[in-house]
Amino acid sequence: MSLSPSLSQYIVRRPQRLALLQHIAEQGSITRAAKSAGLSYKAAWDAIDELNNLSNHPLVERSVGGRGGGGAKLSPEGERVLRLYQRLQALQTQLLEAAEDGADLELLSRLTLRTSARNQLLGHIKDIQRQGLNDLVSLELAGGGLIDAQITHDSSQRLELRPGAEVMALIKAGWLDLLAADHAPAAGYNALHGEIDTVVEAHGGPSEVRIALPSGQVLCALAAPARLHALGLRAGSGVVAQFAPAQVLLGTVV
């Protein structure tokens, strides 16, 4: 099974974070792996969520109650990606030696993209419907789940979107509106059902809510503590994350 183009690009652009897979394989714990990699516990989980969301299959599997903050191990797909990363390390040395000067590396850095959107979900286009100046792009997420994105028709043409193409759906954490599991989403809105994994409270601001989807992907949302309390939402609660199609940005791998 080949890697998705999005994950392949991640490996090329951000190989240093893939080193975390090696630490997880060696330590068997997120806490110890993060310490070994020089990352905070939160930064380690952010990296794992990003990797799992970009892959067709989760790379890291979590087990509750392990030593040092819960156990973790690589999935078969994670082990395969780790082997590719180790091969990439050897290739990197050759590439750096081949670069003529530092300007070459600066140019490559400018040509890659990083985004502030916390939620980056891999998907494939199922359908594109023209709606005046806009297109409604229907996506099937890796591991299941359907969402719509509303973008301009010009953007669809510029990105060369077509049914079957792989795209990245970008959704800012602040755009997700959380509902209790038994609440119906608003008409015309996307709705992803999941379970709250953790709630991280921030002094004087919204809480960060990590939502585990049935597919193994993870969403990050921001919500006021008072709203979470009013809805009875806490770690372990079922939850619905709703968002408008216009709040989904699409990206493609060039």
In the block, tokens 């990050």 appear at: 220
Mean pLDDT of the residues in the chain: 83
**Which segments of the chain does DSSP mark as H helices, in order?**
5-13, 15-27, 30-37, 41-54, 76-98, 102-110, 153-159, 225-231
Q: Average pLDDT in the 18-38 region? A: 88
Map out the domains of the chain with their CATH numbers: 5-110 (1.10.10.10), 117-254 (2.40.50.100)
Per-residue pLDDT, 118: 83
Q: Average pLDDT in the 27-46 region? A: 88
Q: Average pLDDT in the 213-224 region? A: 91
In the block, tokens 């608003």 appear at: 186
- For residue 248, pLDDT over 50 is answered with yes
Q: Select from 48, 194, 216, 47 the least CA-distant residue to 143.
A: 216
The pair of three-digit structure tokens given for residue 9, joined into one six-digit string: 């690009």
Q: What's the 3-state SS for 166-207?
A: EEEEEECHHHCEEEECCCCCCCCCEEEEEEEEEEECCCCCCE
Selected residue with higher pLDDT from 81 and 150: 150
- For residue 200, pLDDT over 70 is answered with yes
pLDDT digits (tens, 9 = 90+) for 52-68: 887 878 888 877 654 44
Please report, for residues 89, 148, 154, 161, the alpha-carbon distance to residue 99 in angstroms, rounded to integers and kept in the order given: 16, 42, 37, 34
